[in-house]
Amino acid sequence: MTQSSAAPAQNNSNLTPATDLVTVSRAVADLRRGEIVLVQGHDNGEAHSVAVIAAEPLSQIGFDRLCDIAREGEAPAIVIPRVRAKSLGRACKNDPFIAFVSADRSGINADRLGEIANPLLDLDALPKGDWRPVSMAESAAIRLAKLARLLPAVVTVPVAPDQLENLARAQNLLVLQSESINGYENASAASLREVSQARVPLENAENATVIAFRPEDGGQEHLAIVIDEPAKDKPVLIRLHSECFTGDLIGSLRCDCGPQLRGAISEISRGGQGGIVLYLRQEGRGIGLVNKLRAYALQDRGFDTLDANEELGFDADERVYRPAAEMLRQLGFETVRLLTNNPEKMSGLESWGVKVSERVPHKFPSNGHNEFYLQTKKERAGHLF
Ligand SMILES: Nc1nc2c(ncn2[C@@H]2O[C@H](COP(=O)(O)OP(=O)(O)OP(=O)(O)O)[C@@H](O)[C@H]2O)c(=O)[nH]1
Ligand SMILES: [Zn+2]
């Protein structure tokens, strides 16, 4: 497969201009460093802005800086998942996130906020305070923390919208609109472009080429492993494989990823018609490796794989399939036979314009450690085993 055989790239990222894409990716890096970012959103047509710092990592210096930004009499709020609030004794309705404002500023510090945010940490007692619904800006800030693969919990103080630009200039902070954050994943997927490729003979597929696709904001590359020379005018056998450091690389027995990855490569090669494994950078069903390890720790305390995600404040599955659809489009494939047991992968691809002509089951025997994981996927996530 040569670079020129790829379909011409269309700029169909009409959700978010490239500059917004770059700003969101810079803000992701800022949050991960413990830096403050400014987010603006609209509630019922009215602009609301907040200064935001991630609850992880949260230093006392960072928290004090955030408090200095707060207007006289405005207390910081910590935005946490409803499930966490529930385990801290707050019964709440269906909103996925809720904000807690401590009544007494002296009862709250960076360590205490970290304990409130993290379901793996014990908290003696919640300080006195009030709960309130989150604003659009705060819910976009949670989205940003998820994009940063941090715990989905943030500390915020309100900023008057007319002060936003001054504050940004004075303290050298990024300003983001909530729409840019919410549209980021789509726009990033639409901006994927092939950046390099090479022939890589594999143990069970000697005629393989690895092609790397990079998003415009410089985020992680997704990979297409093209085996043999699949025809473009027929349904192509493919596997969407979500990155799993533990299963793919070090042979973890907690999941079935290692056998599924190698099994897909062998099966495509054996079929003789060629095919593609798309290696998607969606570690831990899109929550990142660090959070996946947290989810494993919760599973060791009795949660199943889906509830552990939700306990941390994530959806059971945070993956998106536009990057896969975009790579297939650029490689020139429209119709696929999909190696999977997961119906959401089929509907996910189809929602981005890829025709799935057939599901090819991709089941491997359990290994003595992953029975409960596989059973949960079957019984609660609708996987077809
Ligand atoms: N959050 C979380 N992620 C997990 C856990 N176990 C495995 N994973 C991740 O789940 C993903 C598994 O992906 P896949 O095997 O591609 O997908 P699947 O949904 O099982 O569907 P098919 O294998 O196609 O049937 C990888 O990103 C793993 O890192 C877990 O307990 N928690
Ligand atoms: Zn795995």
Span 69-108, pLDDT tens digits: 998 888 999 999 999 998 888 877 778 999 999 988 887 9
Task: Give the pLDDT score at 34.
Answer: 97
What does the DSSP 8-state code read for residue 301?
A: T
Does the beta carbon of 282 lie inside 6 Å of ligand 1?
Answer: yes
Ligand with the closest atom to the CA of 316: 1
Does the beta carbon of 252 lie inside 6 Å of ligand 1?
Answer: no
pTM: 0.93
Closest CA to ligand 1's atom 19: 342
* Ligand 1 pocket test target in 248, 292, 312 with most atoms within 8 Å of CB: 292
Does the beta carbon of 319 lie inside 6 Å of ligand 1?
Answer: no
Domains of the chain with CATH codes: 18-182 (3.90.870.10), 186-282+319-381 (3.40.50.10990)
User: Could you tell me the two tokens for 249?
Assistant: 């690389």
Sign of CA dihedral 138, 78, 286, 312: negative
Contact 67, 157 (CB under 8 A): yes
Task: Give the pLDDT score at 276.
Answer: 98
Rg of the chain taking only CA atoms, in angstroms: 22
Share of the chain above pLDDT 90, in %: 82
pLDDT band of residue 125 (cuts 50, 70, 90) is confident
Q: What is the mean pLDDT of the chain?
A: 92
Task: Give the pLDDT score at 287.
Answer: 98
Alpha-carbon span 17 to 187, nearest angstrom:
8
Closest CA to ligand 1's atom 5: 284
State the alpha helices, DSSP H only, in the chain: 18-32, 60-69, 82-87, 110-117, 136-147, 164-171, 178-182, 184-190, 257-271, 283-286, 289-299, 305-312, 322-331, 343-351, 371-381
At 132, which helix (H) or strand (E)? strand 129-132
- Ligand 2: distance of its center to the CA of 107 in Å? 41
Task: Give the pLDDT score at 16.
Answer: 56
Question: 5 pLDDT exceeds 60?
Answer: no
Residues 59, 63, 64: CA angle, nearest 5 degrees: 115
- Ligand 1: distance of its center to the CA of 335 in Å? 24
Alpha-carbon span 140 to 279, nearest angstrom:
28
Question: 382 pLDDT exceeds 90?
Answer: no
- Ligand 2: distance of its center to the CA of 385 in Å? 17
Residues with CB under 5 A from ligand 2 (ion): 244, 247, 255, 257
Span 287-325, pLDDT tens digits: 999 999 999 999 999 999 999 999 999 999 999 999 999
Alpha-carbon span 269 to 197, nearest angstrom:
19
Question: 9 pLDDT exceeds 50?
Answer: no
Calculate the alpha carbon distances from 133 to 36, 88, 105, 147, 289 in Å: 22, 16, 20, 22, 30
Question: 3 pLDDT exceeds 60?
Answer: no
Q: Which residue has the tokens 């200095």?
A: 68
pLDDT band of residue 17 (cuts 50, 70, 90) is low
More confident call, 383 vs 13:
383
Alpha-carbon span 317 to 222, nearest angstrom:
19
Alpha-carbon span 265 to 277, nearest angstrom:
7
**What is the pLDDT averaged over residues 150-176?**
96
Span 257-269, pLDDT tens digits: 999 999 999 999 9
**What is the pLDDT averaged over residues 328-340?**
98
**What is the pLDDT averaged over residues 356-376?**
92
